[in-house]
Structure 1
Amino acid sequence: MAHQVQAVIAASKNEPVRIETIRVPDPGPGEALVDIQACGVCHTDLHYREGGINDEFPFLLGHEAAGIVSEVGAGVTEVQPGDFVILNWRAVCGQCRACRRGRPWYCFDTHNATQRMSLADGTELTPALGIGAFAEKTLVAAGQCTKVDPRASAAAAGLLGCGVMAGLGAAINTGNVGRGDSVAVIGCGGVGSAAIAGARLAGAAKIIAVDLDGRKLATATDLGATHTVDAATGDVVTAIRELTEGFGADVVIDAVGRPETYRQAFYARDLAGTVVLVGVPTPEMTLDLPLLDVFGRGGALKSSWYGDCLPSRDFPMLIDLYLNGRLNLDAFVSETIPLTGVEEAFAAMQRGDVLRSVVTL
């Protein structure tokens, strides 16, 4: 029996989102039905609305979510009704070559729910990142549900489902930031600020925040940055080198994802240092670097996809750190809003007014 719930739909390219009644099926084999408690408004949702991901409209938006499992389908052992879970868009298969090599965070065959949610007239919806959580209920693969401590705030916990995990993981998992390292983060929105928090957790001695917006630099300082660089007032590479005894940072994280910021990251790292790209480029962007510089500087150039996280390992650990006061996830929640506030939240995000607006239900 299908459930009829309210949800945020992007019906066509660049059109304002709207609230619609949708139909959510009962879970089939390997699926779980989740009552959504909170869901963050991410740039990726805006990219879907703008047609920047694909053209498979209409989209059911929302993916940075936490909630309560209400029903499970046949064969589900990961979770049970009543579990408080964070949703993820990387449900690993356990069988592909990456999983068999013991590197499931690189899984090449992640999966989503088999059944499709739909509009009231039967039109099938494309859920954002296979989740679709700007809704009172959503249907996902059971592997997309990670059980965590229910004492956590749903508004804060859900952000681990995408942007905050991407930033934390870029520092901890991909960048392998260690005690005493110097770290520079270029771009201090939600993902970059999370990378700063991750570098602090990892014990970095010097954490340099780089941005054009003074408000974001102030937030970065609150989250652990020891130094800030206003990218509007001077050369970023020179500034980072001056703050690192002329050598450059051990790890530089590009949380913007543009050719110019990547070049800054490349030349702002120490010899044999690491560059981590976690900001998402657009398809037309290209990069031109002298190959001799790539060879001569050594080190590592890495891309971080979802912070190279393994949700079953990372989400419970990070929630424990949050509950123990070592990771301030609440700092990423700029405001809580109803389902009807998503379109204005997109505008606030584009203005740089928020780290995250979070829909609460």
Structure 2
Amino acid sequence: MLQALALALLYFTNNIEVWNILLLSIIQGCINALDTPVRQSFLVEMVESKNDLGNAIALNSSMFNGARLVGPSIAGVLIASLGEGGCFLINGISFVFVVVSLLLMKIKPQELNKKETNIMKEFKEGFTYTFGFMPIRYIILLLALISLMGMPYTVLMPVFAKDIFHGDSHTFGFLMAASGVGALVAATYLASRKTVLGLERIIPLAAAVFGVGLVAFSLSSNLLLSVILMVITGMGMLMQTASSNTILQTIADNDKRGRVMSFYTMAFMGTAPFGSFMAGSLASLIGAPGTLIFGGIACVAGAIVFARRLPCIIEQVQPVYTRLGLIDDCLDKPEKTDS
């Protein structure tokens, strides 16, 4: 909240400079690095009935990942109508409701087994667990690829709005809003699912839809068609990231979930700035459309690799689902028949 309000203050006092934005961005990155893994892991303690855990994880991951797409869409509309300063100010004020909601929560205290810990030992243990279990490893690697090569499309959207469609901030707002609409549709579908089963198959399919959507959007010169393609692209992006989030939180051991979600945060949010830098540099050489085509093809290639490993991933995930009670043991046993 303070970071957002500081941006608004600097803007309205005409004191904002590039180094201010860079410094506040670094601070925001540090906040996210602490907040996101804890927030994701905390969900398990919030849900009292474990029968509701699967749906709660799906709803939470849909909200978390959906906000990543819907937020910029809303920002595009606000910038077009109120300007950047108004957008920063509303963002800062919105955190008041978040803080109040957190203070009103009542959580049953849990007994903690305090033990001597070593940061490097804990990190190594978390790294070995995360990348030693094939389903978690492939999900995080695909997510990192999508975030690195695909997500920077949001950075290039102003270029398309101005140079390709010869529009203004309103055009940018429409394009980003379309992406947000697709994310909302996907989030609604995922939140309505009653089980995590089957999400493994959605991950490569959604990644492929996202990649194909990017390629098709980069080749389009019609604004209406491009808005439709943005809806499809936002849907594919949210489906892939939210499904990954849901599965990771479901299959991770309770004592490892925080560290797994830390790697998830690095893959999803940590690679995005590098992807934006790469996209900007590449766009100056081959243009924004060519950059999106390259990124879309990379996303489709990642989806194909993941799909080829899908049978092995499902095979290793099923015992975890069975242990959690998501799959009935009797389903794997042949039925006895009367002779």
Which has a greater percent of strand?
Answer: 1
TM-score (norm 1): 0.21
Which has a greater percent of helix?
Answer: 2
Indicate the structure (1 or 2) with the bigger Cα radius of gyration.
2
More contact order relative to length (CA 8 Å, sep ≥ 6):
2
